Chains A and B, each alone.
Chain A
Amino acid sequence: EAGVVQSPRYKIIEKKQPVAFWCNPISGHNTLYWYLQNLGQGPELLIRYENEEAVDDSQLPKDRFSAERLKGVDSTLKIQPAELGDSAVYLCASSRQQNTEAFFGQGTRLTVV
């Protein structure tokens, strides 16, 4: 069974440019999470989807961040425009449903210069 797949693995962009990350969860997993992880810190939740519905986006900076999960499968996370402070690892995770084990992707390491 394939795990959670994220792309790209690494991205370097100039500040004020847009950037998008893509996540393909494990087949059959209804719950999808996007996390932000700063260096030396634990991941912080940005948004959680149950199928195609965003059920918790309270930590998502909506002025510049947006996410979508069309058809309740793949998801994209976008930042526009990116700021220097957005440099971090963006992790996607999925689980079969609420309260079940979550599986993580390899993450996308974003560097904003």
Chain B
Amino acid sequence: KNEVEQSPQNLTAQEGEFITINCSYSVGISALHWLQQHPGGGIVSLFMLSSGKKKHGRLIATINIQEKHSSLHITASHPRDSAVYICAVRSGTDKLIFGTGTRLQVFP
């Protein structure tokens, strides 16, 4: 079993839909990252959080430390949001442990 599990693995949405991507982890962490990876490989850091909730534009990230669970929400989704979204946790030894990603496709 992977230490970081994401669901769903693949997600298809119509433009304008509200999207949720989930991340569960099984190790102790000091922080959790949500990353966006576009075709071509570049990775962009969206959020780093260790508690509560963060919002940036149409993106919202929440984390529940007790339940070892985080969610990434996209409101009013747009085709340009199509990418792979990766959850990564920073362990106590400062290792970043990555999930396998959620591939999102948003159609007009």
Contacts and interface: CB of A to CB of B under 8 A. Distances in A.
B41 A101 contact: no
B83 interface: no
Interface stretch (A12-20, A38-46, A76-84): A38-46
Contacts, number: 55
Interface residues of B, number: 23
Interface in B20-73: 30-31, 33, 35, 40-45, 48
Contact of B100 (A33, A41, A45): A41
Given A99-B90, A103-B45, A45 B33 contact: no
B58 to A, nearest CB: 20
B100 to A, nearest CB: 5
Interface residues of A, number: 23
A56 interface: yes
A101 B98 contact: no
A104 B43 contact: yes
A102 interface: yes
Interface of B: 4, 30-31, 33, 35, 40-45, 48, 86, 88, 90, 93-96, 98-101
Given A42-B100, A101-B45, A107-B43, 20 more contacts: A37-B41, A41-B100, A41-B101, A42-B4, A42-B86, A43-B86, A43-B88, A43-B96, A45-B95, A45-B96, A48-B95, A89-B41, A99-B90, A99-B94, A102-B96, A104-B35, A104-B44, A106-B41, A106-B42, A107-B40
